[in-house]
């Protein structure tokens, strides 16, 4: 049974509003997690929790985990009681209400916003058939302090996504040095000579949960080695296989890379045997019921 209308609570109150003085609204001063709920649970919750707590600590936001769980549990209980098999759970934590100006208030009371939204089947057309992607002209700025975090300022990704309509499923993002970092909502893996490679995110990009799941769990279960490297576009285009990953949609094989500013096909990928093996492991780990 799908979710027809989002369920959203602010500090545990359904349909409450965010204050216009909230620093998440005024400055993007906060963090978020977007999780896939599947068959009664959030399968990757331990990894989401770890990144959420780590990011809050890095930003100096005093996140109260017990309070967050108290706000999250009633919404998950509602989803379970409704017999819904798949949903998207989004958690946003901001520094809370503050006055005008960048100075952090002396007393910080974080705002917790939890939402549950409809989700497509993991076995979507993109999951099964693969996708075409384009190379974005928007570049990612290096910022070691914020690298890896899923903070609330997503302007670079918004500008990149504005470069096309719906003719491509995703867009590849590079940094100012021309290294491929990620896609707008996805991480990237190259398969070459039976080994996996994924971009170095130490200076920019989001260290995605599905990326970590692949590195720490799925790839080792298939005896696949993963190497984190500085990755050029040429290296990506010379891959044997290429796939994108995200904690909500899972794993999408990439069929073609296009530079549509010059109407030029950069690379195409025919078969995806290792990608399909990893997809199979993901389905098993999610105890998939659609």
Which residues does the annotation mark as catalytic?
34, 150, 182
Which residue(s) pair with 163 in the sheet?
A: none
Of 130, 157, 152, 127, give the one whose Cα is nearest residue 141.
Answer: 157
- What are the start-end ranges of the E strands in 47-168? 86-94, 111-118, 131-140
Q: Is 123 helix (H, G, I), strand (E, B) or coil?
A: coil
* Tokens standing for residue 57: 């600590």
Distance (Å, whole) CA 63 – CA 251: 31
Name the helix (H) or strand (E) containing 33: strand 30-38
Contact 8, 114 (CB under 8 A): yes
d(CA 75, CA 69) in angstroms, rounded, equals: 10
Do the beta carbons of residue 50 and residue 142 sit within 8 Å? Answer: no
Residue 168 tokens read as: 């491509």
> In the 8-state DSSP scheme, what is residue 162?
T
């Amino acid at each position: 049974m799908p979710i027809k209308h989002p369920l959203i609570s602010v500090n545990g109150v359904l349909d409450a509003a965010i204050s216009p003085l909230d620093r998440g609204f005024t400055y993007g001063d906060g963090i978020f997690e977007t999780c896939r709920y599947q068959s009664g649970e959030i399968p990757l919750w331990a990894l989401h929790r770890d990144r959420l707590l780590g990011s809050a600590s890095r930003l100096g936001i005093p996140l109260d985990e017990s309070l967050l769980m108290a706000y999250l549990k009633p919404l998950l209980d509602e989803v379970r009681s409704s017999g819904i098999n798949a949903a998207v759970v989004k958690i946003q934590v901001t520094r809370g209400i503050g006055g005008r100006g960048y100075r952090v208030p002396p007393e910080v009371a974080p705002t917790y916003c939890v939402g549950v939204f409809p989700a497509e089947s993991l076995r979507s057309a993109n999951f099964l058939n693969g996708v075409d992607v384009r190379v974005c002209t928007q570049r990612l700025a290096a910022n070691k302090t914020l690298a890896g975090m899923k903070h609330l300022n997503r302007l670079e990704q918004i500008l990149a996504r504005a470069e096309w309509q719906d003719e491509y499923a995703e867009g590849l993002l590079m940094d100012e040095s021309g290294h491929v970092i990620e896609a707008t909502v996805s991480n990237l893996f190259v398969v070459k000579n039976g080994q996996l490679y994924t971009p170095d995110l130490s200076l920019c990009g989001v260290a995605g949960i599905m990326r970590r799941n692949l590195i720490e769990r799925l790839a080792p279960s298939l005896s696949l080695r993963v190497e984190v490297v500085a990755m050029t576009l040429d290296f990506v285009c010379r891959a044997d296989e290429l796939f994108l990953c995200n904690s909500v949609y899972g794993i999408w094989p990439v069929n073609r890379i296009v530079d549509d500013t010059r109407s030029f096909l950069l690379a195409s990928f025919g078969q995806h045997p290792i990608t399909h093996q990893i997809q199979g492991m993901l389905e098993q780990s999610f105890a998939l019921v659609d």
